[in-house]
Amino acid sequence: MVQPLSVMPRGRRRRHLERGAAAVEMALVLPVMLFLLMGMIDFGRAYNAQIQLSAAAREGVRLASLNTTPSSAGATTVATGGTPTENPYGLLAIAQRVDDAAGGLVPFTAYQSGGCSGPAATSSACVTYCPVAAGDQATVVLTAKFTWITGISGMSKFWGGTGTFPTPTTIQATGVMRCTG
């Protein structure tokens, strides 16, 4: 006696033919999903760093606007006890205030306006004190280096060129305030 061959049900046959489709779809979609996830993480970090840098520039320019004697901007003054102390509104004080306000970004080196070409590898604060010749505003320009941590910089090279996200990336914030003098 001969038994007829069993015929596979229609739904089962379709699943059998589409067995590798999910793996192929995942291989196509996964790189794009990872790029988006890494982008969200790093852009969140970059936005946070920009906000911190803006707050630090405001703190620095607030201190710079109180300095009414630009000739003593970085000089030391002698206290009543005879020990030299740094000008409370000078470059060192502004650099310290900016460092405290930046909280977590790299330490800043302060330069007085006109000599603001610090080394490219360092973070800098370019300070214009009150009173300035052109007007009545003090200015602090902060420049810092931001490093992408998730690998989005390397992944962006797959889409052509040298990459959209160079590491380190320079971020900048400017604080401007009226002189109080």
Q: Looking at the domain assignment, is residue 11 inside a domain?
A: no
Q: For residue 55, what are the CA distances in angstroms to 44, 126, 138?
A: 17, 15, 16
Is-contact 91 127, C-beta < 8 A? yes
Task: Count CA atoms within 13 Å of residue 161 on its CB side.
Answer: 7
Prediction pTM value: 0.69
Q: Can you give the pLDDT at residue 172?
A: 87
Q: For residue 2, is it within any domain?
A: no
What total number of domains does the chain contain?
1
Asked if residue 3 is part of any domain, the answer here is: no
Q: What is the largest CA-CA distance in the chain?
A: 119
CB 85 within 8 A of CB 76: yes
pLDDT at 137: 84
Q: For the residues 157-164, what does the mean pLDDT come to? A: 65
Phi and psi dihedrals of 80, rounded to 5? -65, -30
57 in a domain, yes or no?
A: yes
